[in-house]
Amino acid sequence: EPEVTQTPSHQVTQMGQEVILRCVPISNHLYFYWYRQILGQKVEFLVSFYNNEISEKSEIFDDQFSVERPDGSNFTLKIRSTKLEDSAMYFCASTAGWSRSTDTQYFGPGTRLTVL
């Protein structure tokens, strides 16, 4: 069964460093998403991406965040200068489309980001 994959599973970084989280969405999917979940809190939407551009972004997704689809398979989230409060689980998700029959989002296993 096709699945979303993410690497690395765990990333430890120093405050102020740049990190890149990687995702490979399901191959025939067209919409891609990043969510985060701080320990013990809700899953929060960060950004959606379609046709090589951002469709929606939340207030969390400020100038230190960026997303990119550098090739036909990878989808990346970059955090330019990490802060302690960026420590969270980051989930990538994808969906085939945005109609009732295709809008189900499938989540990857997540990358746990720890900022020291």
Partner 1 sequence: QKEVEQNSGPLSVPEGAIASLNCTYSDRGSQSFFWYRQYSGKSPELIMFIYSNGDKEDGRFTAQLNKASQYVSLLIRDSQPSDSATYLCAVDAGNMLTFGGGTRLMVKP
Using CB under 8 A, pick the residue from 38, 43, 68, 70 that binds partner 1: 43
Q: Does 59 bind partner 1 (CB under 8 A)?
A: no
Q: How many residues bind partner 1 (CB under 8 A)?
A: 25
- Classify burial at 18, counting beta carbons within 10 Å of its beta carbon; exposed 0-12, middle 13-18, buried 19 or more: exposed
Cβ 23 to partner 1 shortest distance, Å: 12
- When asked if residue 64 is in the footprint of partner 1 (CB under 8 A), the reply is no
Separation CA 13–CA 86 (nearest Å): 11
Which residues, 6 or more positions from 89, have their beta carbon under 8 angstroms from its beta carbon?
36, 37, 38, 39, 110, 111, 112, 113
Binding residues for partner 1, rule: CB under 8 A, are 31, 33, 35, 41-45, 48, 50, 55-56, 58, 89, 91, 98, 100, 103-110
